[in-house]
Amino acid sequence: INITFMSKTLFLGLDGGATKILAQICEFDLESSLITPIGKQIEFSYGESSNFDPTFKPTELLKQQKESKNNIFNFSKKEIKQSSSIIDTIVKIILSSIKNTKITQIGLCFPGIKTTNLDGISIMVNGPRNIDMLNELNQKIKSKLGNKLSIKMIYDDSECCVIGEKKSSVGKLMNCKNAIYIGGGTGIADGLILNDKIIDLKNHSEIKRSWELIMHNGETIEKCLSLGGMLSKWGKMKKDSPLNILSLFENAMLDDNIANDILDKAANAFTFLIKDRTDFFYSKNTKPEKIVIGQRLGLLLSNKNNPLLKLISKNYNGHIPIETSTDRRTAAIGAAYKAYENIK
């Protein structure tokens, strides 16, 4: 590693998913005010931890919501153990990333509803909750590295996706003043940029998130358009098919009725969501310059022959150009940017 690289302030962005954690080293360029990834990302799966249980089932959502509302939590031994496998993996990826480099700050984003102080996860649809996550993480980091590094808070993964697209040198929203972002993975990451500012959807009274927006058929946008939602429908209807998203798309291309129905609903959900978002822009006397579809959904729709892309193109006759973002590091880069912002 050359000396110039050593003298720079480096940030480590971490993006925790449902099954793995992705880490990306970044540096901040003061001239352009953009954050730039350095080198390749690394990824570790939680399954590599000896505490990981592949058969783990998350606590029922209604129970989680009730416990979160009352602020009284009952965590099972299995949930605690599963969470410890995530913490082990995050610590392992940090230690792996900081070898030979001068990382000064770490930013972590994670799915789920955060505790009030952003130091834990109080509701998690696809994994274990942990309201003491940050404290446990920092204790483990301290035992390995002393007081050199700590994580300040847990960021929202949706927000970090949008920041990664807007504030990074590899982002698709870099010079965009008004835009709609849709990140599709296990759930939907919603993002809006209005007059060059990223809108805080959590605290915005006029905008509903994808999991709050109900379509005419009574289902939420997220349930129809996220890969997680499509997969769960596919799994319920097709007990004999392999449960992966590619088998759903392949069956749709072979004119399987069930697969086509799932993709029809997804395409309708897309149109419904875009109409809702563009109406918001019109109410502010402006219109979006583009729609960016990111995360794994963006990767899948970047293939011109994808049956869902064809349905979306047929259904959606809007005048806003659609782009796909295929860079999987966006949320990690966004988390690194937030870490930079917090020291300014």
In 66-166, beta strands by DSSP E: 103-110, 113-114, 121-123, 151-156
User: Dihedrals φ, ψ of 194, to 5°?
Assistant: -125, 125
Count of CB atoms situated within 10 Å of the CB of 222: 22
What pLDDT score does 1 carry? 44
Tokens, residue 50? 């000896």
Residues of the chain with pLDDT under 70: 1-7, 100, 241-242, 344
pLDDT at residue 5 in the model: 46
pLDDT attached to residue 2: 42
Cα–Cα dist 210/189, whole Å: 8
pTM summary value: 0.90
CA–CA separation, 130 and 16 (whole Å): 14
Half-sphere exposure of 54 (CA within 13 A, CB side): 3
- pLDDT (0 to 100) of residue 180: 97
- 123 Rama sector, left if φ>0, alpha if ψ -120 to 50, beta otherwise: beta
Alpha carbon distance 192, 289 (integer Å) = 11
Per residue in 233-277, pLDDT (tens digit) is 998 887 776 678 899 999 999 999 999 999 999 999 999 999 999
What pLDDT score was predicted for residue 77? 96
**E strand or H helix that includes residue 73:** none
192 contacts: CB under 8 Å, gap ≥ 6: 162, 179, 180, 181, 198, 199, 201, 207, 277, 280
Give me the pLDDT at residue 332, please.
Answer: 97
Identify the sign of the CA torsion 92, 97, 103, 105.
negative
Instruction: List Cβ neighbours of 162 (8 Å cut-off, separation of 6 or more).
Output: 173, 181, 189, 191, 192, 193, 198, 334
Q: What's residue 344's pLDDT?
A: 65
